[in-house]
């Protein structure tokens, strides 16, 4: 146990050193962004996807038509149990789903999977098929801590998992993204994810940065974590929340984009100064007749759901407009 503490302290010191080394660029990310209109680093508009989990009530063709009409550029397609494409049918169904989406002039910028290990039953079929279709990114499933061991002792195991996936990703030319998710998941603290990713090839393995979950875990400190992970952030997703008191306890309550606790102004300033240029995906986790949970059948009119989705897309474009060239 003493060895584990020494190891963890040593790794934490390395993390602190990394932050110190990058403090100059980190400071610039905050200071130069004070006036977004004056920023010399305006970017092209991001390609914006919608998470297909929120459209499980539509088939591939109808979903593609709806997504096109709402104004999205593409999709993050669920390729996991109960998803739009089932893992056991990926070789047959993923090409069909992608064809239906591309027929509408859209792109599949990423897929969301339940993959956690290179040795998982469907890892190779999913990555091989997706890579052959030209899909560039996929999201991994979440890792859980072995609570019988210390956090420090868990990190090498997670690093090994990520390393093996990176090797598989390289073979099939697709990047793997691990999402930081609030709670007791590996990666929620962000620094633990960085410790596992450190020294791995960022071209093939990294992070899908979730500002909503980062804000839950560090409402004022998330910028430090973003800076630490920056090299590995290849995709991002967007959603919002607020704190609400229920049964005497403060809990997270999901809300429409731009109406909650997430400081998108600060986030987009930092994002604009970063090297990030990957795809963006909107998630809908507030009450939408079951769409928020991936329901196959809605309990409210579909037009109401689609209007809410389009509204959040418009909100994102308005919030990020000061930082783009168009």
Q: Is residue 24 part of a domain?
A: no
* Mean pLDDT confidence for 157-175: 99
Does residue 171 have a pLDDT over 90? yes
* Mean pLDDT confidence for 110-129: 99
Q: Is residue 33 part of a domain?
A: no
Q: Is residue 315 part of a domain?
A: yes
Give the pLDDT band of residue 35 (cuts 50, 70, 90). Answer: very low
Give 205's strand partners.
Answer: 176
Radius of gyration of the chain (CA): 20
Q: Is residue 188 part of a domain?
A: yes
Give the whole-angstrom CA distance, residue 216 versus residue 225. Answer: 13
Span 239-259, pLDDT tens digits = 999 999 999 999 999 999 999
Percentage of the chain beyond pLDDT 90 is 83
Task: Give residue 29's pLDDT.
Answer: 44
Q: Is residue 25 part of a domain?
A: no
Please count the structural domains in the chain: 1
User: pTM here?
Assistant: 0.87
Instruction: Give residue 254's domain range.
Output: 46-323
Q: Is residue 176 part of a domain?
A: yes
Give the whole-angstrom CA distance, residue 166 versus residue 175. Answer: 8
Q: Is residue 35 part of a domain?
A: no
Span 256-301, pLDDT tens digits = 999 999 999 999 999 999 979 999 999 999 999 999 999 999 999 9
Span 71-98, pLDDT tens digits = 999 999 999 999 999 999 999 999 999 9
Burial 282-311 (b: 16+ CB within 10 A, else e): bbbbbebbbbbebeeebeeeeeebbebbbe
User: 213: domain CATH number?
Assistant: 3.20.20.150
Q: Is residue 105 part of a domain?
A: yes
């Amino acid at each position: 146990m003493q060895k584990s503490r020494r190891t963890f302290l040593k790794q934490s010191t390395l993390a602190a050193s990394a932050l110190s080394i990058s403090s100059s660029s980190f400071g610039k990310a905050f200071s130069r962004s004070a006036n977004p209109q004056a920023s010399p680093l305006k970017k092209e508009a991001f390609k914006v996807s919608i998470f297909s989990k929120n459209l499980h009530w539509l088939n591939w063709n109808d979903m593609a038509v709806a997504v096109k009409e709402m104004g999205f550029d593409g999709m993050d397609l669920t390729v996991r149990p109960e998803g739009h494409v089932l893992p056991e049918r990926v070789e047959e169904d993923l090409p069909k789903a992608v064809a239906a989406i591309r027929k509408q002039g859209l792109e599949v910028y990423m897929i969301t999977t339940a993959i956690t290990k290179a040795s998982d039953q469907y890892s190779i079929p999913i990555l091989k098929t997706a890579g052959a279709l030209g899909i560039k990114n996929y999201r991994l499933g979440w890792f859980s801590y072995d609570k019988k061991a210390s956090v420090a002792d868990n990190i090498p195991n997670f690093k090994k998992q990520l390393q093996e996936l990176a090797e598989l990703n390289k073979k099939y030319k697709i990047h793997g993204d691990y999402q930081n998710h609030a709670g007791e998941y590996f990666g929620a603290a962000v620094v633990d994810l960085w410790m596992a990713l450190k020294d791995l090839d960022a071209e093939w393995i990294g992070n899908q940065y979730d500002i909503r979950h980062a804000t839950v875990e560090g409402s004022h400190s998330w910028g430090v974590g973003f800076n630490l992970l920056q090299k590995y952030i290849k995709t991002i997703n967007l959603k919002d929340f607020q704190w609400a008191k229920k049964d005497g306890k403060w809990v997270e309550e999901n809300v429409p984009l731009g109406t909650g606790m997430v400081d998108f102004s600060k986030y987009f300033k930092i994002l604009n100064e970063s090297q990030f240029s990957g795809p963006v995906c909107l998630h809908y986790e507030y009450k939408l007749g079951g769409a928020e949970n991936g329901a196959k059948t809605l309990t409210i009119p579909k037009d109401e759901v689609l209007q809410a989705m389009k509204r959040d897309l418009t909100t994102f474009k308005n919030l990020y407009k000061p930082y783009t060239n168009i």
